[in-house]
Chains A and B, each alone.
Chain A
Amino acid sequence: MTRTVDSKLITDIVKDLFIKANTSLRPDILAGLKNARKNETKEKARYALDVIIKNAFIAKKKMLAICQDTGMAVIYLRVGQSVTIKGGLKKAVSKGVELAYKKGYFRHSVVNDPLIRKNTNTNLPPIIYTDIVHGNKIRIKVMVKGFGCENVSKIRMFRPTDPVSNIEGFIVDTVKDAGSRPCPPVYIGIGIGGTLDKAVSISKEAIFRPLGKNSKDKHIARLEKSILKKVNKLNIGPAGVGGNTTALGVSILTYPTHIAGLPVAVNISCHATRTVEVTI
Chain B
Amino acid sequence: MRRIFLPLTKDIIKTIKPGEQVLLNGALLTARDAAHKRLIDTLKSGKKIPVSLKGETIYYTGPTPARIGEVIGSCGPTTSARMDPFTLLLLKHGLLGMIGKGERSKEVRLAIKKHGAVYFITIGGAGAYLSEKVKSAEAIAYKDLGPEAIYRLIVEDFPAIIDIL
Contacts and interface: CB of A to CB of B under 8 A. Distances in A.
B132 interface: yes
Contacts of A240: 101-103, 121, 124
A64 B130 CA distance: 12
A181 B79 contact: yes
Of the listed residues B75, B125, B129, the one surrounded by the most CB atoms of chain A closer than 10 A to its CB is B125
Interface in B103-150: 103, 121, 123-132, 145-147
A64 B126 CA distance: 11
A68 B75 contact: yes
A180 B124 CA distance: 9
Interface residues of A, number: 38
Contacts, number: 127
A56 B128 CA distance: 8
Given A54-B129, A55-B125, A239-B124, A108 B161 contact: no
A239 B78 contact: no
Interface string B41-64: 000000000000000000001111
Interface in A87-122: 105-109, 117, 119, 121
A87 B164 CA distance: 56
Given A105-B67, A179-B103, A59 B161 contact: no
B63 A68 contact: yes
A187 to B, nearest CB: 12
B26 interface: no
A97 to B, nearest CB: 15
Contacts of A51: 123, 126, 129, 159
B74 interface: yes
A66 B73 contact: no
B127 A181 contact: no
Contacts of A181: 79, 81, 101-103
A33 B145 CA distance: 35
B21 interface: yes
B74 A59 contact: yes
Contacts of B34: 117
A62 interface: yes
A44 B159 CA distance: 12
Contacts of B126: 51-52, 54-55, 67
Chain B contact patch, size range: 35 or more
B97 interface: no
> Dominant SS at the A interface?
loop
B125 A107 contact: no
Given A47-B21, A70-B64, A151-B79, A65 B127 contact: yes
Of the listed residues B62, B67, B102, the one surrounded by the most CB atoms of chain A closer than 10 A to its CB is B102
B66 interface: yes
Given A107-B65, A109-B147, A183-B101, A67 B123 contact: no
B74 A239 contact: no
A107 B64 contact: yes
Contact of A64 (B61, B79, B131, B145): B131
B146 A119 contact: yes
Given A51-B159, A105-B67, A67 B125 contact: yes
A261 to B, nearest CB: 32
A68 B124 contact: no
A44 B21 contact: yes
Contact of A66 (B102, B103, B128, B145): B128
8 contacts: A52-B126, A67-B125, A67-B126, A67-B127, A106-B65, A148-B78, A148-B125, A181-B103
Interface of A: 44, 47-48, 51-52, 54-56, 58-59, 62, 64-70, 105-109, 117, 119, 121, 148, 151, 179-181, 183, 239-241, 270-272
